[in-house]
Structure 1
Amino acid sequence: MLLAIPVPAEADASMYWRRRFRGAADQVWSVRAFAAHLLADFEALDDVLLVLDELAVNALRHTRSGQAGGHFTIEIRRDVAGVTVHVIDEGGPGEPRVGDIVELAESGRGLLTVDALATAWSWKGDSRGRTLRATFAERA
Structure 2
Amino acid sequence: MQDGARTLEAVYGNVAPKLRANFKNMHPLLELIMVEHIYGRVLSRPLVGLRMRELCTLSILAGQNVPLQMVSHLRGSMRCGATREETDTVVEQTGLSWGDEALAQARTVRDDTWAKEKRDKEKKAAAAAAATSRRRPPA
* TM-score grouping bracket, smaller chain normalisation: under 0.3
Structure with more strand by fraction: 1
| Higher RCO, Cα 8 Å, sep 6+ | 1
State the TM-score, normalized to the length of structure 1. 0.24
Structure with more helix by fraction: 2
